[in-house]
Amino acid sequence: MALAGHPSGSSGLRSHPAAMSDEALASAPSTPPSPSGSPPAKGGVLRAYAELTKPGVTRLVMITTAAGAIAAPGAVDWRRFGWVMLGTTLVVASANSLNMYIERNGDAVMERTRGRPIPSGRISPRAAWVFGVLTGVVGLLIESFLLDWLTGLVAAVALTSYVLAYTPLKRVTPLALQVGAVPGALPPVIGWVAMTGSIGAGAVALFVLMFVWQLPHFLAITLFRQREYEKAGIRVLPAVRGVAQTKAEIIVYSLLLVAASLAPLAAGIGHDAYLSLALASGAGFFAFSLFGLEGSAGDRWARSLFFASMPHLVLVMGALVWVAS
């Protein structure tokens, strides 16, 4: 249920040979030996497991989960809030760990992912798989039994769709982005359901907002990381339909994002202050996307658009939390 295709994780700037085989990865030590030949420090192992969870992605998911819980009608039940945050954190950790397990060979090829725990040899594929399964099971048990069955069901849909649908489809079709945007949009729904016990109009509005936001966000990544994705065998839109088509879709989705930002208002969440902030931020992001029409707009523009999308999301979610509190 991590955000689809998010580049968080190790920067992967260390050198690495070509893609490692399954056998090489399986036989790699869980952590590299120190220069002196002594066993690696325990902190190194713990850090590697932390990297499996993609902390940057997890933080963003937790922000959206918290936003959904706080924006839900009624007073916040802080006991339930604590459980949903813990359970969702574990489910996200599971999704990211299993994603790294499945994509370990491709990660070994891409510059930005070569330093991740499995291709770098700091954690074996088996250990990553066990960690991913255990965190997923514990997280789903928390959300199903310490909260309610519907919260657990939504979390289970997010986890399984991310790992079993989005992850393998990345090497088949660019439409994997839209598939992956579904689990990426479910965290605020999980927060909402944990507080209310039902999926109301507000939860649907938050889902629509998160779903649309991911599309220009991640299409921007495919532009400035296109060569790496192609090398890893991932079917991204620029490689399949061209850069011009990708830029056009970014502009369309950025315009749709303005409308999606108004969905919470239609569901009865927010007021005039939220409307002003959402329109101003959305219009600014859309205007910036239009610079993609210039022939000179290349990787620098795409990278800037990617980074600009994140404060836009935080501002919109923050405004929802503010008006709901």
60-97 pLDDT, tens per residue?
999 999 999 999 998 899 999 999 999 999 999 999 99
| Residue 325 pLDDT class (50, 70, 90 cuts) | low
- The predicted pLDDT at position 16 comes to 35
**Look-up: residue for tokens 């997010």?**
158
Q: What is the mean pLDDT of the chain?
A: 86
- The predicted pLDDT at position 31 comes to 38
Residue 153 has pLDDT above 60, yes or no: yes
CB 14 within 8 A of CB 120: yes
Residue 163 has pLDDT above 50, yes or no: yes
Residue 242 has pLDDT above 90, yes or no: yes
| Furthest-apart CA atoms within the chain: distance in Å | 63
- The predicted pLDDT at position 210 comes to 96
**Cβ neighbours for 259, distance < 8 A, ≥ 6 positions apart:** none
Burial class (CB in 10 A: 0-12, 13-18, 19+), 160: middle
Residue 12 has pLDDT above 50, yes or no: no
Residue 169 has pLDDT above 70, yes or no: yes
- The predicted pLDDT at position 125 comes to 96
Q: How far, in Å, CA of 93 to CA of 155, rounded?
A: 12
32-43 pLDDT, tens per residue?
433 333 344 445
Count of residues in the chain = 325
- Measured over the CA atoms of residue 101, residue 106, residue 110 and residue 115, the dihedral's sign is positive
CB 215 within 8 A of CB 307: no
Q: Which residue has the higher pLDDT, 120 or 20?
A: 120
When pLDDT is averaged across residues 91-107 and rounded to a whole number, the result is 95
CB 115 within 8 A of CB 164: no
Radius of gyration of the chain (CA): 20
251-307 pLDDT, tens per residue?
999 999 999 999 999 888 877 888 999 999 999 999 999 998 887 889 999 999 999
- The predicted pLDDT at position 1 comes to 67
- The predicted pLDDT at position 14 comes to 33
Two tokens, residue 181: 């945007």
Nearest in space to 141 (alpha carbons), one of 72, 188, 86: 86
**Look-up: residue for tokens 């922000």?**
63
Per-residue CA distances from 231 to 177, 196, 225, 227 (Å): 18, 45, 10, 6
**Vertex 154: Cα angle to 65 and 181 (nearest 5):** 70
Two tokens, residue 159: 């986890």
Q: Which residue has the higher pLDDT, 5 or 174?
A: 174
Residue 132 has pLDDT above 70, yes or no: yes
- The predicted pLDDT at position 312 comes to 92
CB 257 within 8 A of CB 220: no
Give percent of the chain above pLDDT 70. Answer: 86
Q: Which domains does the chain have, with CATH numbers?
A: 47-324 (1.10.600)
Per-residue CA distances from 146 to 64, 140, 309 (Å): 21, 10, 35
19-36 pLDDT, tens per residue?
333 333 333 333 343 333
CB 187 within 8 A of CB 64: yes
Phi-psi region of 37 (alpha: psi -120 to 50; beta: other; left: phi over 0): left
Nearest in space to 257 (alpha carbons), one of 287, 236, 235: 287
